Structure 1
Amino acid sequence: MQRRKIWAGLSSAVLVATPAASQVTAMPAQPRASVEAKADQGLLQLAQHKGHDAGAIKAAPPAASGDGEGGEGGGATNLSPQLHLYRGLELIRGHLLVGGELVETGRWAEALPHFLHPEEEIYNSLREDLKTFKIAPFQVALKALSQTVKAKNKEAYARARAAIDERLAAAETAVREKETDKLHFTLETALEVLQQASDEYGEAFKNGRIANVVEYQDARGFVQEADRLIGTMGDALSAKNADAAKALRASLDDLKSTFPTVTPPEKAAKDHGQFLSSVARFELQLGNFR
């Protein structure tokens, strides 16, 4: 699995620096080497970052690899085929979520990039995976949907959106049926989606301000999709580990608070480092569900 690095202070002060963190399940202190070894198994690599205030995060630059902007499509080519495909499907859903928000308020032109990106940035990287899992291609359905947005045709949009949602659901089912540990697979996928959200959110900033509205909206859609994914497993998560499930929910709620509206606020609710800190808190709970 490809690993992107997030550098974070590992002192306990980092993880209790925010109110949301107070809900995180207490974890025993571990030697630095042990933490770094575990991080290699997850999506985040954590390392000591000295000389900063408690809770400060130093983020690695957004990934530059991949077929699409920010590596959405090809930026995770070292994942297993099933995780790579499921990640791609959920990123597509994230784009459609935020695009749908904009369509509902009549902002068709602003919505259009979010209906073009799934085909332009993600779909090509999924072709071989779709063949592997014997899933029918759906590029034509994606293109048809984006055409309805270009035409600002609400009735045609509703039909095309329902069609692509059906195709995505069928693809998700085909992948999940082959997973023996569906709970942890869902968690891994959500983490991948959140990592992509952190890449997009970082790219939205220029000189400390949110300058790229589309990247901000991409990040919003991906966080919403990760939240939806976790919601589908809510009962199973609570049954497995109620405290860790609450901690996951707290970290997601914290991430969602980054996006109070579909358009960026005048002052960002979080800087990129704070966003990464919330993703790190999410990942730290995944081991509790093995």
Structure 2
Amino acid sequence: MIIRNRRLWLGIGTATLAGAAVATGVTAEDTMQHNHGSQPGASEPGAPNMLAAPQAGEAYLTDGGPRDTRIRIYRDIALMRGHLRVGDELIREGRWDDAVVHFLHPAEELYGAMERYIKLHGVTPFDRELKAQAEAVKAKRMRAYEQNAKVVQQRLSAALEKFKTFMTPPLRSFTVRSANEVLKVAASEYEAAIEDGRIVNPMEYQDSRGFVWTASDMYDEVAKELEQIDAAKLQEIRSHIEKMKTAFPGAMPPGQPVMSPEEFSELATKIEELSSVYW
């Protein structure tokens, strides 16, 4: 998976801290640097919301992704799920060798970047589970793979729920904006898969496919709440997502793209614009 610098997607506002950190004028960076040894729990008064504290120069925040760390964490857990989703599709088709890379990326590209925040926020580590799942895929052991897959999904869900305790309500805002970020990555991956009018990189195509379906799931998770705010816009968003899905006839790519990268990216942009009513 490649997350490019084609465009710098800035975050959605200035960093904030919960409770006393704001009241006393302590900066987000100061809080993260000096309070590691004596953090109050997330539910206690004055607990710093470190997910909302982007730090200039930090490697995790310099790939052109969202500056709001809460959205970035949410996005990256979703990207993990997107990788695992398309990898599972390939396994079900008997394409174990093609699937392996999609089980390596969550541990090799995403977990390491998130690890600091996992430790700071008391999230149960799950790198071993990711690696065990990848090893099962390498060995082409279906039973071990299926057992590990259940555990990994449980760990991802638990991690996200823990991180959500550091997100300021309404949580739907984070779900929607994170889904949009997933679609931006999908657009970048789709573009990277195509060269001279042909799909030359199946892996990037597959990444994009997994991310689109995952973003669709994220919108479905909060659909009832979004419908109450603006049902018409949600219908448009769903229509655009379904159109994006048509770019992927299957887990293995066609020789020629069904949709141009420009059209694909435009759909992602339209979705973000339509979704602003839910923020």
Equivalent residue, structure 1, for 2:131: 143
Is 1:182 the counterpart of 2:171? The answer is: yes
1:132 CA drift (Å): 2.7
Is 1:152 the counterpart of 2:154? The answer is: no
Opposite residue 80 of structure 1, the aligned amino acid is: D
> What residue ranges of structure 2 are gaps of 5+ in the alignment?
13-57
Q: What does 1:200-219 align with in structure 2 at a 5 Å threshold?
A: 200-219=189-208
Equivalent residue, structure 2, for 1:99: 87
Residues 242 and 220 of structure 1: is their aligned pair in 2 closer, same or farther, counting only changes over 3 Å?
Answer: same
Opposite residue 227 of structure 1, the aligned amino acid is: S
1:271 CA drift (Å): 1.0
Residues 188 and 3 of structure 1: is their aligned pair in 2 closer, same or farther, counting only changes over 3 Å?
Answer: farther
Does structure 1 conserve the Cα–Cα contact (< 8 Å) formed by 2:83 and 2:103? yes
Say which SS state the counterpart of residue 79 (structure 2) adopts.
Answer: helix
TM-score normalised over the length of structure 2: 0.77
Equivalent residue, structure 2, for 1:22: none
Runs of 4+ off more than 4 Å: 39-42
Does structure 2 conserve the Cα–Cα contact (< 8 Å) formed by 1:203 and 1:212? yes
Structure 1: distance between partners of 2:207 and 2:124:
26
1:75 CA drift (Å): 2.2
Is 1:5 the counterpart of 2:14? The answer is: no
Opposite residue 108 of structure 2, the aligned amino acid is: E
Equivalent residue, structure 2, for 1:286: 275
* Match of residue 212, structure 2, among 205, 223, 228: 223
Does structure 1 conserve the Cα–Cα contact (< 8 Å) formed by 2:175 and 2:218? yes
> What residue ranges of structure 1 are gaps of 5+ in the alignment?
7-38, 43-65
Opposite residue 181 of structure 1, the aligned amino acid is: P
* Match of residue 110, structure 2, among 122, 126, 133: 122
Deviations for 1:248-279, whole angstroms, at most 9, x for unmatched residues?
A: 11111111111111111232111110101110
Residues 5 and 78 of structure 1: is their aligned pair in 2 closer, same or farther, counting only changes over 3 Å?
Answer: closer
Say which SS state the counterpart of residue 285 (structure 1) adopts.
Answer: helix
Equivalent residue, structure 2, for 1:275: 264
Q: How many residues align?
A: 230
Opposite residue 94 of structure 1, the aligned amino acid is: G
Does structure 1 conserve the Cα–Cα contact (< 8 Å) formed by 2:123 and 2:162? yes
Residues 94 and 74 of structure 1: is their aligned pair in 2 closer, same or farther, counting only changes over 3 Å?
Answer: farther
Structure 2: distance between partners of 1:168 and 1:206:
34
Residues 226 and 77 of structure 1: is their aligned pair in 2 closer, same or farther, counting only changes over 3 Å?
Answer: closer
Is 1:249 the counterpart of 2:238? The answer is: yes
Per chain length, whose mean CA-contact separation is higher, i.e. which structure has more relative contact order (CA < 8 Å, sep 6+)?
A: 1
Opposite residue 5 of structure 1, the aligned amino acid is: R
TM-score normalised over the length of structure 1: 0.74
Opposite residue 242 of structure 1, the aligned amino acid is: A
Deviations for 1:2-34, whole angstroms, at most 9, x for unmatched residues?
A: 99639xxxxxxxxxxxxxxxxxxxxxxxxxxxx
Equivalent residue, structure 2, for 1:46: none
Equivalent residue, structure 2, for 1:258: 247
Residues 40 and 177 of structure 1: is their aligned pair in 2 closer, same or farther, counting only changes over 3 Å?
Answer: closer
Does structure 2 conserve the Cα–Cα contact (< 8 Å) formed by 1:81 and 1:129? no
Deviations for 1:146-194, whole angstroms, at most 9, x for unmatched residues?
A: 0000110000001100110000000111122332111111011001101
Does structure 1 conserve the Cα–Cα contact (< 8 Å) formed by 2:96 and 2:140? yes
Is 1:133 the counterpart of 2:133? The answer is: no
Equivalent residue, structure 1, for 2:76: 88
Q: How large is the RMSD of aligned CA atoms in angstroms? A: 2.3
